[in-house]
Copies of this chain bind each other. A is one copy, B any other.
Amino acid sequence: MTSNPPPLQIHALKAACATCSLRELCLPMDLSEDEIDRLEDLIGQRRWIRQGQELFGAGESFHALYAVRSGFFKTCVGSEDGREQVTGFQMAGELLGLDGIGSGRHEVSAVALEDSQVCVMPFDELEEMAAGMPHLQRSLHRFLSREIVRDHGTLLMLGSLRADERVAAFLLGLLRRLQRRGQRGDEFVLRMSREEIGSYLGLKIETVSRVFGRLQAEGLLEVKLKQIRVLEGERLRQLAEGCS
């Protein structure tokens, strides 16, 4: 139930937001040195999640928010009849668990798509701390709000784009987020399977595959399994027309 350190790696007992490379992107965005220090005390532990493992499951009771420190996650909702859908992918610096605040239970499950590390932030304490630290409060609200906005973008995608447009928007969105995290160039690795992409985009796996094929044939992309290189960003952007 607690940490599961991978070989050769021991996790620190105390978080180190101050020296974390994600500081500018993550919850401590606008905090002063002093405030960061207090936040670090709150983050009791970091936790390792092995590829394929759940960080939390839908229905489990909610205790904490998690900041992705390294790695990659997907979140899924499932309806009772077994239909499942991926609602998002989370990378370093992004928060997991926001959905649980409302009801006290997690409404989605979060699964690591590669070995990942998260910072655990007990929510009651975080809330209490936010009450006395306006910057933190503001930052938390921003994260919540941005999540809503992001979902609206996805809604627009599912509701009004066709298959190739969705895939284009998806890839550009991924690339943008990766680049903000220091990724160089137009080449990157998909952490998720075709099936997961399809689920996220409301498409079947075969359609995703065909679209990749088509975009490659037209010279917009180079696709080698999970390795993607964007050749014609501008034309891709044209396809995706105004979707994050």
Q: Which residues of A are in contact with B by a Cβ distance under 8 Å?
A: 77, 79-81, 83, 85, 87, 98-103, 107-108, 127-128, 130-132, 134, 137-138, 140-149, 151-156, 158-160, 199-202, 241-243
Query: Can you pick out 19 interface pairs between chain A and chain B where the beta carbons lie within 8 Å of each other?
Result: A79-B156, A79-B241, A79-B243, A83-B241, A85-B155, A98-B144, A99-B145, A101-B141, A102-B142, A102-B145, A102-B146, A103-B145, A131-B134, A144-B144, A151-B155, A155-B155, A155-B158, A158-B159, A159-B202
Kindly identify which residue among B99, B127, B156, B160 contacts A138, using a CB–CB cutoff of 8 Å: B127
Are A145 and B83 neighbours in the complex by a CB distance under 8 Å? no
- Chain B residues with CB under 8 Å of A141's CB are 101, 127, 140, 144
Residues of A contacting B: mostly: helix
- Chain B residues with CB under 8 Å of A145's CB are 98-103, 144
Are B160 and A85 neighbours in the complex by a CB distance under 8 Å? yes
Identify the closest chain B residue to A107 (Cβ).
B149
- Chain B residues with CB under 8 Å of A243's CB are 79
Interface contacts beyond A101-B141, A103-B146: sample of 7 additional A-B pairs, CB < 8 Å, sorted by A: A87-B155, A99-B149, A102-B148, A107-B152, A127-B141, A131-B131, A144-B148
